[in-house]
Amino acid sequence: MLTSREKIPVLVFDDHEAVADRVAGEIVAFVQKSEAAGVPAVLGLATGSTSLGVYRRLIEAHQNGGVSFRNCVTFNLDEYYPMSPDSLQSHHQFMFANLFDYLDLPRESIHLLRGDLLREKALQHCEEYEQAIREVGGIGLQILGLGRMGHIGFNEPGSLPGTRTRLIRLDEVTRKDAAADFFGEGNVPEEAVSMGVGTLLESRRLLLVATGEHKAAILRRAVEGDVGPEVAASYLQNHADVTFFVDLAAARELTRIKTPWLVEDLYDWDRRATQRAALWLCDLKDKSILTLQRQDYSENRLFGLLKKYESVDHLNQTVFDWVRHKIHERKRLFRNRRCICFSPHPDDDVISMGGTLLKLSRVGNEITVAYMTSGNIAVFDHDVLRHLDFILLTMEDLGYDSTQFRVIADRVRDFLQTKEPTTVDLPEVQVMKTNIRRTEAIAGAGVLGIPPHRCRFLDLPFYHTGEVRKSPISEEDVGILLHLMEEVRPDVVFVAGDLSDPHGTHSVCKEAIYRALDRYSGESPEVWLYRGAWQEWDVDEADVLIPLSHDEFSTKLQAIFKHESQKDSAMFPGACDDREFWERVQQRNTTTARLLHQFGLPEYYAMEAFVVETMHSSPSRFPPNLS
């Protein structure tokens, strides 16, 4: 009953690691079965961050002797157009760097779409690609990702079910989603070469992988909605052997996850489910918690919930008390405790929990802010030139010899004048961009009462690629975090639990922190998960709500404004929202406060929300690094 609205089989896993384990396992089984049968294993492969975990596991399985790929034939799903195979953003580069270079797959068995052909030859190339698929008997197992507009491959909204491999113009949202990889939307190609929907539907088995909260809304449309060109992934409802593999974040909008009582009578009405149902009903009926009536519950399939309580008044009062208890005003804030706020980028601390940091510092807590990455790729070149001018003018006015620095400045200027949009910065430029972000972070933290010596810049190695795509977490990354924890001995750690980060850095940082916590020798600290620049915890999800006055929120905004390189026009704002980060924060924090007031709680100006976990000694939550 729970899956009655789902028209495609969907397997939901706790996290993206578990998804990757399962999908990689199915690919290995298919390859082994094909080899035993003496037939080629024809694989259709996808690119993108969702595929990386799967490919790392395939590499590990091969290197451990568990599977050989010598009997495989592969066809890649798509490529940008125009695109040189040597470009850092090409899918050619992605596949060799993240999979092909580590397997015993014969090079003649690898088929990749080309984005470097003249248009007339590109059209012929598409026909030849289709012919090559037919000659090997079709694709046996096809891996797919899910675009935020529902595209599979580059089959954008409007694609028809009979389409074949072709040139296609990219949707504006798709280009915005890719902007980070290309250091700006203006550098993203306007077209791509992609297998068609009809080509994909002829695959014998289809596995679609979707992770992250930013995929949740479109996943529901693809799985529960009507079939049509508006959501190309919905065509998969017509395939005889397809499965979606998703994490909880991507599945959160499915009816069985978000509102399961609409499809099945629930018997396990725990605290979280009860809150979710009651607050959902408040929103649906535009009522406060204490004014909900028995009829409201019974008309919306919540009979089972009513049966758990002696009266509707008892139910309403219980939920009201639960929500009220989440609000931690000044008198309920903890004091004299050691805290580490882990900030994936140099501004996530102030954006996500600046008000809470302000309040905690004012009541005597010792707060260390650990900036995990440099964030240097998000600094514009013109900011570097401005700071060069500042340094040179200052040295000149103070009478210092600037000869040595002028050599560096000239090298940087020459590089930036001829730099291609997708070129990795010189080391000198990366250092300057790093220090621009560091000085902004120190200034922002200072507004919240956190002194410079409490700002720690960890500069984790996984980020040192100079590109948007990062390396996997390593022992060196975990060791740096563990060293800080052993030094500070925190009672509370704040971690970015944001599953909507379109670049994936937040989830990677969270993984590294949890690995370090698993090895931490001290007493397990409380872990407070905050959200980032894209979403906020729902009231039913949150364990703690920190109210902010108008003045406190204004101070938080002043801390955000100190990050001048991200002000007015951030390089990577995320495709789903063109507003500045401070505008999103204002809307998000004040909306949470208004919701609480709508539910019948006191009225506050703004609120920050947290989910609280207690870490226990346990086996590692993550498999070993597969790099």
CATH number at residue 602: 3.40.50.10320
pLDDT of residue 468: 52
506-514 mean pLDDT: 90
Q: How far apart are alpha carbons 198 and 203 in whole angstroms? A: 9
| 358 Cβ contact list (under 8 Å, min separation 6) | 448, 449, 552, 555, 556, 559
- Is 156 catalytic? The answer is yes
d(CA 269, CA 550) in angstroms, rounded, equals 37
Name the token pair of 339: 């805290």
Which is the catalytic residue, given 156, 552, 608, 613?
A: 156
pLDDT per residue as tens digits for the range 198-235: 999 999 999 999 998 889 999 999 999 999 999 999 99
576 in any annotated domain: yes
Do the beta carbons of residue 565 and residue 378 sit within 8 Å? yes
Main-chain phi, psi angles of 579, to 5 degrees: -75, 160
Q: What is the DSSP letter of 170?
A: P
CA distance 288 to 306: 17
User: Could you give the CA distance from residue 594 to residue 609 in angstroms, rounded to a whole number?
Assistant: 13
Measure the CA–CA gap between 353 and 74, rounded to whole angstroms: 46
Number of domains in the chain: 3
Q: How many CB atoms lie within 10 A of CB 620?
A: 11
22: tokens are 């399962």
- Token pair 């539907």 is found at 201
Verify that 222 and 314 share a domain, yes or no.
no
Q: What percent of the chain has pLDDT over 70?
A: 94
Question: What does the pLDDT look like over 117-131, one tens digit per residue?
Answer: 999 999 999 999 999
Q: For the chain, what is the total number of helices (H) and then of strands (E)? A: 21, 17
Evaluate the CA torsion angle 406, 411, 414, 419 in order and state its sign.
negative
Residues 573 and 452 occupy one common structural domain: yes
Q: Are 210 and 248 in contact (CB under 8 A)?
A: no
Q: Do residues 431 and 579 share a domain?
A: yes
| Residue 277 structural domain | 265-326
3-state DSSP call for residue 623? coil
CA distances from 312 to 113, 204, 290, 292, 300 (A): 62, 52, 9, 8, 14
Q: Are residues 197 and 220 in the same domain?
A: yes
Do 190 and 297 sit in the same domain of this protein?
no
In tens, the pLDDT along 26-59 reads 999 999 999 999 999 999 999 988 899 999 999 9
Total residues found in the chain within this entry: 627
Is 400 a member of any domain? no
- Out of 143-157, 174-188, 557-571, the most confident range is 143-157
With respect to residue 479, please indicate whether it lies within any of the assigned structural domains.
yes
For residues 119 and 247, state if they share a domain.
yes
